[in-house]
Amino acid sequence: MLQLTVNGIVHQVDVEDDMPLLWVLRDEIGLNGPKYGCGVAACGACTVHVGGVAVRSCQTLVSDVDGPVMTIEGLGTPDEMHAVQAAWLEHQVAQCGYCQGGQMMQAADLLTQNPDPTDADIDEAMSGNLCRCGTYPRIRAAVKSAARSMRGA
C-alpha cells in the first residue's frame, strides 16, 4: 500500500511501484482532470503539481512521489476559481480544452516562481505543453492577466 495526498485528501493505493502517477490519479482515484495525451512527457496534458512544482504525471512513478499532489481540480473549482482559471475563462482560451488543465497547472507553477514573467519567460515555461487546437495566443494573454491579478495590480 502506498499513501498519497491528492488535493488535500489522503488515499491508500495498492499499485505497482512503477505505475505512473497519471494512471493512479485517473484509474485508481478517479480524477479526470489530469489527461493522457502521450505518456512520454511530450505534450503536458497530464501536468500536476507534486510538492508545489509542476511535473508530467505520466512520467512520474507513483513510488517517486515525495510530496502532496495537486491536480487541476485542486487548483480551484467552478465556484471558487484560482486566478489562473479565472483568466482562462475571461480570455475564453479553450477550444477542445483537452490540453488546458495541463496548461493551467503549468501556468500556475510559472506564476508562483515568477510573478511577472516576460514573453520569453512565458514561451520557455509553456512550450512543453502542446495545444493541437492552437490556442497559444490566448494562453499568452491569459497568463499575463493572471499574473496581473495575482500581483494585485
Partner 1 sequence: MTMGRAGTIARRSFVVGSVALLGGVAFGYYQYKRPPKNPLLDGLGEDEAALTPYVLINADGITLTTPRADMGQGSYSVQAALIAEELDVALDQIRVDPGPPSKAYYNTALANEAVPFPSTDQSTAANAMRGTVDAVMKFMGLQLTGGSTTVPDGYEKLRMAGAVARETLKHAAAEQTGLAVTQLKTDHGAVVLPDGQRIPYQALAATAARIDPVTNVTLRPSTQWRLIGKPMQRVDMVAKSTGTQAYGIDHRMDGMVHAAIRLNPRKGGDVVSFDASAAEAMRGVQQVIEVTGGIGVIADNTWRAFQAADAIEVEWGPAPYPAAQSEHWQVLSDTLDAAAPDATPRDDGDMDAVDASIEAEYRAPYVAHAPLEPLNATVLVGEGRVDVWTGNQIPRMTQASVADMTGISARDVHVHILMMGGSFGHRLEDEVVKRATELAMALPGTPVKLTYKREEDTAQDYTRPIALMRGRGAVDGGKVTAMEIRVASPSILDSQMGERQGMNLPGPDSAITQALWDQPYAIPHYRVVGYRPPKLGPVSSWRSVGASQNAFFHENFLNALIHEAGADPVEERLRLMTDAPSRKVLEAVAEMSDWGGSLDRNTARGVAFSLSFGTPVAEVVQIRQTEAGIALDKVWVAAEVGRVVDPINFENLVQGGVIWGLGHAINSQITYADGMAEQQSFFDFEGLRNYQTPEIFVRGLENRDRVTGIGEPPVPPAAPALAEALFQSTGERPTEMPFANTFTFV
- Residues forming contacts to ligand FES in the complex (CB under 6 A) are 36-39, 41-46, 56, 58, 94-100, 131-133, 135
Q: How far is CA 107 from the centre of its chain?
A: 8
Among 2, 29, 50, 81, binds partner 1 (CB under 8 A): 81
Residue bearing cell 499532489: 69
Q: Which is nearer to partner 1, 6 or 85 (CB)?
A: 85
Least separation in angstroms between CB 60 and ligand FES = 9
- Per-residue CA distances from 111 to 11, 39, 51, 68, 142 (Å): 28, 25, 15, 19, 12
Are the C-beta atoms of residues 25 and 57 closer than 8 Å to each other? yes
Q: Which is nearer to ligand FES, 116 or 123 (CB)?
A: 123
Length of the chain: 153
Q: Segment near partner 1 (CB under 8 A), from 3-11, 39-47, 49-57, 109-117? A: 39-47
Least separation in angstroms between CB 54 and ligand FES = 11
Least separation in angstroms between CB 36 and ligand FES = 5
Least separation in angstroms between CB 100 and ligand FES = 6
Among 2, 11, 19, 29, binds partner 1 (CB under 8 A): 19
19-43 per-residue burial string, b: 16 or more CB within 10 A, e: under 16: bbbbbbbbebbebebbbbbeeeeeb
DSSP code at position 77: -
The letter for the amino acid at 11 is H
Residue 126 binding result from ligand FES, partner 1, none, given CB thresholds of 5 to 8 Å by partner type: partner 1
